[in-house]
Amino acid sequence: MVQLLNVSMEGGAIRPQRSFLPPGGIDLWFMILPLNIPIAELMRCLSPIEVRRAGTFAGRDLQCSYCAAHAALRLILASYADIAPAAITFVQGPFGKPGVALPELRFNMSHSGGAVLVGVAHRPLGVDVEDVRRTASLEAVADLFLERGERAAIAQQPVARRQAELLRRWTGKEACAKALGLGLQFDLRCLAPWRGGYACDGHGSFVVCSLRPASGFIAAIAVRGSEPEELALTTLRQARLHHDHGLGLAADPPVPLASSIFALDGRG
């Protein structure tokens, strides 16, 4: 069974809760943007490509959100390798999935409604977070991401539970697709329920863990093969950059989290 750790942080440099990331573990970082960091300071962490990308967004709020998310990502990844955030080098897979040029370190990032979720592990993974309040009813588009058996299972659910179950399956499949790294053209209906997650012909199987990182948000983490031994979740509330590119942090107090291996019968 997966062990979920609520991580409480005081202040100081951003560091994982443990001195190392266990081979079978996943570290999750959740934040609500903005993080009260001036955009000029954020850009100090970013590459010229990221700075140009930020400039393409219409409106300062979108620019700040992009810069905050990518600066936080750099600071998080740099903490594992003990290097400067600006020294992080990103690479792209054949279908555009971003990776990092650090040995044996994998990451994935998702954002929705001002929230950002970053997953870090030693193996390929995918994460997805959705703002429940901004998500329209998925029942009308269920045919686009559920296979026939899943649609039949959803139809048997009480009406009041269908939207929640659709959200769990949607985020789970999105996380699997991101773990695969096959891009937007991947058909989510190819993912069939299998032993606490999903399987896809020619691509193996994935275990999916579903959780609620904060009120109003649902998230999923997908990894290939066996389930993670441990999930450690840190919620970032405030942050500031120092002249040496360190990051001071405050974290929300640990909150009760519903976390389980993806329950395809809707009972999880």
Residue 122 lies in a domain: yes
Specify the pTM: 0.83
Residue 198, in any domain of the structure? yes
C-alpha angle 6-7-11 in degrees, rounded to nearest 5: 155
Q: What integer pLDDT is reported at residue 222 of this predicted model? A: 92
**Domains contained in the chain, number:** 1
CATH at residue 171: 3.90.470.20
pLDDT of residue 138: 84
> What's the sign of the alpha-carbon dihedral 155, 157, 160, 166?
negative
In a domain, 193, yes or no: yes
C-alpha closest to that of 173 among 127, 111, 122: 127
Q: Is the residue at 40 inside a domain?
A: yes
Q: State the Cα–Cα distance between residues 40 and 37, nearest whole angstrom.
A: 8
Residue 267 lies in a domain: no
Residue 268 domain-assigned? no
Yes or no: say if 212 and 195 are a contact pair by the CB < 8 Å rule. Answer: no
- What angle (nearest 5°) sits at the alpha carbon of residue 92, between those of residues 88 and 93? 135
Cα 68 from Cα 37, distance rounded (Å): 7
Structural domain contains residue 266: no
Mean pLDDT of successive 10-residue segments in the chain (268 residues)? 38 43 83 73 84 89 86 84 84 82 88 90 93 80 89 89 89 93 85 86 88 88 83 68 45 43 39
CA distances (Å), 106 to each of 103, 123, 162, 246, in order? 9, 6, 33, 22
Please give the residue range of the domain that contains residue 155: 3-261
Give domain status of residue 12, yes or no. Answer: yes
